[in-house]
Structure 1
Amino acid sequence: MEILKKRIRTNQFKGRAFTQVTLDDDFNVPDVRPDIDKIIEENGDIKITEVRVMEGKVSICGKLEFAVLYISGYDSRPIHHMDGCIDFEEVVNMDNVAEGDDVKVSWDMEDLRTSLINSRKLSVRSIIALTLNASCIVEIEAALNVEGGKDVCSRTRRVDTSQIHIQKKDTFRIKDEITVPANKPNIMEILWNDAAVDNLDIRLMDDKISLRGELGIFVMYSSEEEKNPLQFFNTTSPFSGNLECHGAKEEMIGHITARIIHTEIEVRRDSDMEARNVGIEVVLELEMAVYEDETTELLSDVYALDKKLVPVYRPAVFDNILMKNQSDMRLHQRIKIKNDQAKILQICQAGGHVKVDRTQINESGILVEGVVYVQILYVAADDRMPVNALKGMVPFSCQIEIPEMDNTCTYEISPVLEQVSSNMLDSEEIEIKMMLVLSAIVFKRMKVDIIEDIKEEACDQHQAENIPGIIGYIVRPGDELWTLAKKFNTTMEDIMSTNNLEQEQLSPKQKLVITIHG
């Protein structure tokens, strides 16, 4: 007798952890930069450089990269910038993790504040929230059927599994060169810039992943013009391309997230040696998990008519994809300047980032609540401070529809902000509009007892001799044809043939004649 087995490769969720990290440091203004009179705007980005998984804990290394736009009253060109970074290392306890597990780290910047210590020294303080999701790939060997036994009866059950085929990270580089608009002067120095991915479309194809989207570029710079040295422009740069993903198929399910991990925007000279071109290089990091839904018939029970077979069971857990879904939500908010702020002449740039505060499973799916922090840079009606920044918060509450979801499910939510636009209502108020895209992948945990071995044991010959060759039986509630055939050492086919049954379903109090095999 031979047991036919199959290896099922599945991804198992092992746990989630949260921690807060406070970063605080002081920075001197570089010697090549003038004194700081007033800070206009600051922004920051977290770069996770290393995630090291150990027994029961995870070490996370990273850095906060920040930039500051400021006014200097001690220079003929008042707008300047400086940047820097703060390194950090955090160890988070996670009881269930072990070396070799996959731990995804996401972050929210809950606070970033810069303040002047003096005109040559800056204090930077930030609070970041780290979320860790741990999982591991498990290969489960399960019995499918048995071969080689003439009098062996077997039963199978259908098990739906989401088998993981690919799990990896990769990078996608976007390179372009744009030209300063014809009505703008040459660039002397880039003061502030930003790059954001919009309308990103990621699709699985055979042996590759297709990416298509737009890169939104903002550049503020100082020019050589005496009367109007401060200039800016916004533009978009479409991109498309493929990443190799060997083994992927178009019909598989891909859970792929992308984020910018590097941005480089530099001045380049054109063919006339004038500083009118801007070189752009953006690196996207993609975390890829590719699954395939598969239905497998696993062996659930076995017995023999001529010997005693004892199946050896062990519990197995499958985390199967219940659903992938996303919810799109349009947000808008009016934001007014503070009483002490200069009035608005023109909007330069608007942007924001999403912070998810709370998620809750309900009968319809997942309720997601949070806030979008927005920043608007504008040209101000104040010669002493020609640029200023307006900040605001846009709260949101969004329902992601996931039928059949319950509290045993695990899930990942990826928020993306798209189509951010702003409109100047008057010199004191701006309306900002945006699209919030919340994507969710939900896994439902299924526990199955699988057969990993079948043992043969000696039959009780005395007991076998005392069993009559034929009996009458009245069906009880819960009886199945399989259990009766196994109990009385016969086959389902024999019972159906003897009693002229056309279907396997039995009814309580139904009378059966059962012939027992010796």
Structure 2
Amino acid sequence: MTDSGINAEVLVNIFAIYRSNDGIMMWHESQENVTQAVDVSGASADAVCFVSCRQQSGNVQIRPDADGEDRVLEAEAVCELGIHAYEEKNHEIVTDCYIPAGEAIAVTSQAKLLKLMTHNNTRCRAAGMLKTDTGAIGDICSCRGQVKVQDISYEKSNVEVNGTVDVNALCTDKSGMLYCVKGEIPFGQKIEVRGMEDFCKMGGKKAEEVISLMMNADLEKINAVKASDGIEVKASAALDVIVFGSTKRDIIDDIRIQEADKAEYMSLPLITGYIVKPGDTLWSIAKSHHTTADDIKTCNTLKGEEVNAGDRLILMKKGILQN
């Protein structure tokens, strides 16, 4: 991703099977790299980019060469890009408010925040044997595969992905007749997500409740060779995974101010001696004693924000809120 959009490079696999003028069954296989710049509104080179690519349509046609002979195969494909871009920001969230000599009522709503846990591009290998009952194999014309993810599970700091590579091999027998051999090759891969276990413990939730992910699972390489009892297949699956942790927070949308109850307020002492309890902060002490953290620091000549259990403080009540 750039500041103007996406620079995409797509690898197009082309396979065509045809008959020659002599009636001989033939085939052609090749790969082509295609680059394309795509304008994307709001794009940023600093964004975390997650892009999926899916072939929408495609065809192959015969074209004449410079001599007028039908020797050129023209391939055309349309690919659909699914573009997600994420920008990571640090937010300061106001979680509490008060007025020393009045009453502040916070109007809140719940917001869902996402934390980027990892963006991981990993490769996993799959290997297996495809059995055939059609006799001896002459040639393997083409071997294609599709990655299918069947199960995703969470274990401490790992995401475990299990699935299959669905293989489709086009072969000939000894007489030159074409036939297809299909099968599945299983694979499994663990992807490390640092901090996932601590994130779940912090919210007291299971990973399935607070962890979400998106994944592109594509076939990177596949190779098929003849074996004595079938076809030996080796494949490499590319797993592009982006993982988020979600949490919900109460966000203050508005603050409504009310006057304090004068009789109740005036009954409280102007100066109070206070012994700090475990878990106390300057904020919590100030809120419960109608003063401010800055006033506590000034009155007690504190240099920092830290207070410890057992510390002795002098607290002075603020003046009542005036209209």
- The answer for the alignment partner of 2:203 in structure 1 is none
1:24-58 CA-to-partner distances (Å, cap 9, x unmatched) read xxxxxxxxxxxxxxxxxxxxxxxxxxxxxxxxxxx
State the 1:414 CA deviation: 2.1
Q: Distance in 2 between matches of 1:378 and 1:337?
A: 10
- The answer for the alignment partner of 2:202 in structure 1 is none
**Residue 414, structure 1, aligned to residue 208, structure 2:** no
- The answer for the alignment partner of 1:391 in structure 2 is 182
| Residue pairs, 1:310-459, within 5 angstroms | 310-338=105-133, 341-382=134-175, 386-405=177-196, 406-407=207-208, 408-425=210-227, 428-459=229-260
278, 281, 295: which one aligns with 1:477: 278
Q: Distance in 1 between matches of 2:250 and 2:107?
A: 10
Root mean square deviation of aligned Cα:
1.8
Q: Distance in 1 between matches of 2:214 and 2:5?
A: 23
Q: Secondary structure at the match of 1:355?
A: strand
**Residue 208, structure 1, aligned to residue 9, structure 2:** no
Contact 2:296 2:314 in 1 (8 A): yes
**Residue 217, structure 1, aligned to residue 18, structure 2:** no
Structure with greater proportional strand content: 1
Q: Distance in 2 between matches of 1:430 and 1:351?
A: 13
Unaligned runs of 5+ in 1: 1-203
- Aligned AA for 1:395? P
1:494-516 CA-to-partner distances (Å, cap 9, x unmatched) read 21122222221221122111122
| Residue pairs, 1:176-255, within 5 angstroms | 204-226=1-23, 229-255=24-50
Q: Distance in 2 between matches of 1:213 and 1:314?
A: 44
Q: Distance in 1 between matches of 2:257 and 2:227?
A: 83
| Residue pairs, 1:256-267, within 5 angstroms | 256-267=51-62
- The answer for the alignment partner of 1:10 in structure 2 is none
1:451-505 CA-to-partner distances (Å, cap 9, x unmatched) read 1111111211112222222110011122110011122222211211222222212
Q: Distance in 1 between matches of 2:123 and 2:27?
A: 31
- Aligned AA for 1:232? W
- The answer for the alignment partner of 1:303 in structure 2 is 98
State the 1:242 CA deviation: 0.9
- Aligned AA for 1:296? H
**Residue 512, structure 1, aligned to residue 313, structure 2:** yes
State the 1:439 CA deviation: 2.0
Which runs of structure 1 show a deviation greater than 3 angstroms over 4 or more consecutive aligned residues? none
Q: Secondary structure at the match of 1:337?
A: coil
1:411-451 CA-to-partner distances (Å, cap 9, x unmatched) read 2222111111222345x533222111122222211111111
- Aligned AA for 2:76? E
State the 1:306 CA deviation: 4.7
Q: Secondary structure at the match of 1:299?
A: coil
Q: Distance in 2 between matches of 1:274 and 1:499?
A: 97
Contact 2:16 2:28 in 1 (8 A): yes
Contact 2:125 2:187 in 1 (8 A): no
Q: Distance in 2 between matches of 1:294 and 1:500?
A: 36
- Aligned AA for 2:31? T
Contact 2:126 2:165 in 1 (8 A): no
Q: Distance in 1 between matches of 2:121 and 2:71?
A: 41
Q: Secondary structure at the match of 2:90?
A: strand
- The answer for the alignment partner of 2:267 in structure 1 is 466
1:259-291 CA-to-partner distances (Å, cap 9, x unmatched) read 111011111122322111111111111111211
Q: Secondary structure at the match of 2:285?
A: helix
Q: Secondary structure at the match of 1:490?
A: coil
Q: Secondary structure at the match of 1:493?
A: helix
TM norm structure 2: 0.89
Structure with greater proportional helix content: 2
Q: Distance in 2 between matches of 1:323 and 1:432?
A: 31
- The answer for the alignment partner of 1:279 in structure 2 is 74
1:157-206 CA-to-partner distances (Å, cap 9, x unmatched) read xxxxxxxxxxxxxxxxxxxxxxxxxxxxxxxxxxxxxxxxxxxxxxx111
Contact 1:315 1:448 in 2 (8 A): yes
Q: Distance in 2 between matches of 1:317 and 1:364?
A: 22
1:73-102 CA-to-partner distances (Å, cap 9, x unmatched) read xxxxxxxxxxxxxxxxxxxxxxxxxxxxxx
Percent identical pairs in the alignment equals 28
Q: Secondary structure at the match of 1:302?
A: coil
Q: Distance in 2 between matches of 1:374 and 1:309?
A: 66
Q: Secondary structure at the match of 1:303?
A: coil
Contact 2:51 2:81 in 1 (8 A): yes
Q: Secondary structure at the match of 1:505?
A: coil
1:82-139 CA-to-partner distances (Å, cap 9, x unmatched) read xxxxxxxxxxxxxxxxxxxxxxxxxxxxxxxxxxxxxxxxxxxxxxxxxxxxxxxxxx
Q: Distance in 2 between matches of 1:302 and 1:356?
A: 48
Contact 2:128 2:232 in 1 (8 A): yes
Contact 1:313 1:449 in 2 (8 A): yes
State the 1:366 CA deviation: 1.5
- Count of matched residue positions in the alignment of Structure 1 and Structure 2: 308
Q: Distance in 2 between matches of 1:350 and 1:260?
A: 18
TM norm structure 1: 0.57
Q: Distance in 2 between matches of 1:447 and 1:238?
A: 44
Q: Secondary structure at the match of 1:296?
A: coil
Contact 1:327 1:399 in 2 (8 A): no
